Amino acid sequence: MSLQAKAQQIGTALYEALGANVYHYFRPTGQIPACVWQESGEDNSFHSGNHKTEQAIRGTVDYYTQAEFDTNADTIQATLDGLGAAWWLESVQYEEDTKIIHYEWGFVVTAERG
């Protein structure tokens, strides 16, 4: 599976789960709620016979909301589970100046969802 296919499956799955307001790399100014995903590099991949046999792609998913206990946070986690991706909740922060709750997940994906 190509690098692009591994990365794009995250965005496609998030869009299917959340509908609109899913973006790659950036959140348009003032867009709340919003889900932003991005690939950030390679994780622990496997090599054999002097070539890469499996590439793991690392990235983040950020979700911005003003709703306390927004159920989309659970939807995002279920979506990552459904992909078979390794993931973890990196942080949840309340941004006082904007009154936005910011969730951040890290993920690693190695294969196409099945």
Task: Provide DSSP, 9-38.
Answer: HHHHHHHHHH-S-EEES---TT--SEEEEE
Q: What does the pLDDT look like over 13-65, one tens digit per residue?
A: 999 999 989 999 999 998 999 999 999 766 666 556 766 556 778 899 999 99
Q: What does the pLDDT look like over 55-103, one tens digit per residue?
A: 778 899 999 999 999 999 999 999 999 988 899 999 999 999 999 999 9
Q: What is the largest CA-CA distance in the chain?
A: 53
Rg (CA), the chain: 15
The domains located in the chain, with CATH, are: 3-109 (3.30.2000.30)
pLDDT on residue 38: 96
pLDDT on residue 43: 62
What phi and psi values does residue 85 have, to the nearest 5 degrees? -80, 145
Select from 75, 57, 63 the least CA-distant residue to 100. Answer: 63
pLDDT on residue 72: 97
